[in-house]
Amino acid sequence: MTDNEKAGRNAKILHAVKWIVLLLLFFCFIFPFLMVVINVFKTKADIISNPLALVGEHGFTLKNFPEAMKKMKFWTVFGNSFIITVSATVLTILISSMTAFVIVRNNWKFCTIVFSLMIASMVIPFQVLMVPLVSVYGGIFNVLNHRLTLILMHVGFSVSMSCFMFHGAIKTNIPLELEEAATIDGCSRWQTWWRVVFPLLKPTIATVGIINAMAYWNDYLLPSLVLTKKNLYTIPIATQAFYGTYSTDIGLVMAALLLAMLPILILYVFLQRYIVEGVASGAVKG
């Protein structure tokens, strides 16, 4: 066997090993989702007796969905989650893109300091701020149990990372000549950002949007601290209604989890082609 043939055989073996490892990792990640999909159409008894079976002994059932929707008041909590997620995502995109534009196009010391503080704030864990946050905004200002409070908190915690991604995208992908041409044509700074820069940031906008929307939609800890009234619950908080002190209706839990996953999963399917491009363009700083 020649050296070229050996090299070709080794390359094929390495390629096959990589695919096997990737498939195993993919299965590990997708397994919890498959368990939800399989068990959502079973009765509680069938789930407990044989959770890995495709069809339970009592057959295929759709009763879990209407019961889960009724118990968790699905349309109310869905509306709350939708309003909070959409509002916070739009505000995060607009504020962070404008901030990044100002920082990139101005060589002010103030901009450098602000951007450095934003980068530094990204390493602070939320758990450090959790107790002071509730104490100050709940005990002193008494502004908890409002959707607007949660929306602004989401934006505040997300704007640093989003600004970092927009900063890299503007600095590396938006030619300064385009903005100079817009200025010559009579555009103000606001018009230049809105009509020239912002439309060219679509991949980064999609990436920032899907990352933050997934975080807001699935977040449990912050909403549970801010929203304590049942009529303001989001979907992750409402799923706690299925966990009792002595027993849990697993079928209803599975139905609630699937209902919670579907909207954000659909959004990801439509925007996933922008994810890699947006991350790559926003991660380059120089």
The residue that leads in pLDDT, 153 or 56, is 153
d(CA 171, CA 101): 9
pLDDT digits (tens, 9 = 90+) for 79-126: 999 999 999 999 999 999 999 999 999 888 999 999 999 999 988 888
What is the CA angle 95-281-100, rounded to 5? 25
Q: Given phi > 0 = left and psi -120 to 50 = alpha, else beta, which region is 43?
A: beta
> What pLDDT digit, counting tens, does each position of 255-276 carry?
888 888 888 888 878 777 766 6
pLDDT above 70 covers a percentage of the chain that reads: 93
Give 195-237 pLDDT, tens digit per residue.
999 999 988 898 899 889 999 999 998 999 899 888 999 998 9
Contact assessment for residue 149 and residue 226, using Cβ atoms and an 8 Å cutoff = yes
pLDDT reported for residue 246: 52
Q: What is the pLDDT of residue 244?
A: 65
Closest listed residue to residue 189, CA positions, set 178, 199, 179: 179
pLDDT of residue 20: 95
133, 153 Cβ separation under 8 angstroms: yes
What are the extents of the domains in the chain?
Answer: 3-39, 71-283
The residues that bridge with 248 in the sheet, in sequence order, are 243
Q: Tokens for 12?
A: 């094929």
CATH architecture group of domain 71-283 = Orthogonal Bundle (1.10)
What pLDDT score does 185 carry? 87
Angle 97-103-104 from CA coordinates, rounded to 5° = 90
Q: How far is CA 104 from CA 28, 81, 167, 175, in A?
A: 41, 34, 6, 12
Q: Which residue has the tokens 């619950």?
A: 233
Which residues are 243's β-sheet partners?
248
Q: Which residues contact 25 (CB under 8 A, 6 or more apart)?
A: none
One-letter identity of residue 211: I
pTM: 0.83
| CB neighbourhood size of 77 (10 A) | 25
